[in-house]
Amino acid sequence: MSHPEQQYLQLIRDILERGHDHHGRNGDTKSLFGNMMRFSLKDGTVPLLTTKKVAWKTCFKELIWFIRGCTDNEDLQKQNVHIWDGNSTREFLDSRGLTNNEEGDLGPVYGHQWRHFNAEYTDRYTDYSGKGIDQLQYIIDNLKTEEGRTSRRLIMSAWNPCQLNQMALPPCHVLAQFNVRSEGDTHYLSCALYQRSCDVGLGVPFNIASYSFLTHLIAKECGLIAEDFVYFMGNTHIYNDHIDALKVQIERQPLPFPRMVIPNKMALEEYKVSDIVWKEEYKSHETIKMNMSA
């Protein structure tokens, strides 16, 4: 069987060969609509791409930020995470009509929708406990019961049309569904993600890692075994200024994916990067620099 990372490398080739030229909001791209990849999470596998170095610690910190329901970019900056900086400046917020937001206040983005869906948003400092719908807790509660884990309604949506205009950036990864497959007393958890807008060079490697980490964390919390991450992609694009870098990447041969062990915690939001123990360390080719388009 070929290395699962070949799916990603082939996607790059397909877009470069058959992609449609498009002038978008934040740059010129080549794109294809409708793509899919599947990655095994068995035995603690984390599909961190290896043909370039993925900043997995940054990715993990952002994930826990989502899980905590946070919308304050300053919280990430304190952890030396700067992936939201371009979308939280005074200039960018004003361009979105968010003139009343303080710089760094991203509005009701992912974390707010995951933990407080559609709760009235005031600012990044407000305590939203008990407000809105806690979609993530609903999924966890159901996965912990024999009847609940068989549900086909274990869905978490970040796409809330009622609040899109309050967000610094409408969500790209918009809907995740969790599914349990059972063999006797053993239960396997998989996650399927639908993403409307997929930045192949920078965003996609992070999204694969983030939702794989999330699936592992939820499986641990609920006494399940992580099995698969399935990735459905809408507008899948390569920015023109990433093309040369990606041509270098597709010539590299993938290395084995790492495998991890995670401890039990009282709650998902308690996890830290230091809690991750690698059974098989993450090894990759060297970093490939690409500019982020806000």
> Cβ(118)–Cβ(159) under 8 Å?
no
Q: How much is the CA Rg of the chain, to the nearest whole Å?
A: 19
Spatial separation of the C-alpha atoms in residues 27 and 194, rounded to whole Å: 23
Tokens for 178, please give them: 């969790």
Helix, strand, or coil (residue 294):
coil
Cα–Cα distances in Å, from 188 out to 143, 149, 166, 219?
11, 10, 37, 8
Is 172 marked active-site?
A: yes
Of 59, 70, 172, 191, which residue is the catalytic one?
Answer: 172
Hey, is 192 helix, strand or coil?
A: strand
Reported in sequence order, the residue ranges of the chain that DSSP labels E, i.e. its strands, are 20-24, 27-40, 155-157, 173-183, 186-199, 225-239, 259-261, 277-280
- Known catalytic residues? 172
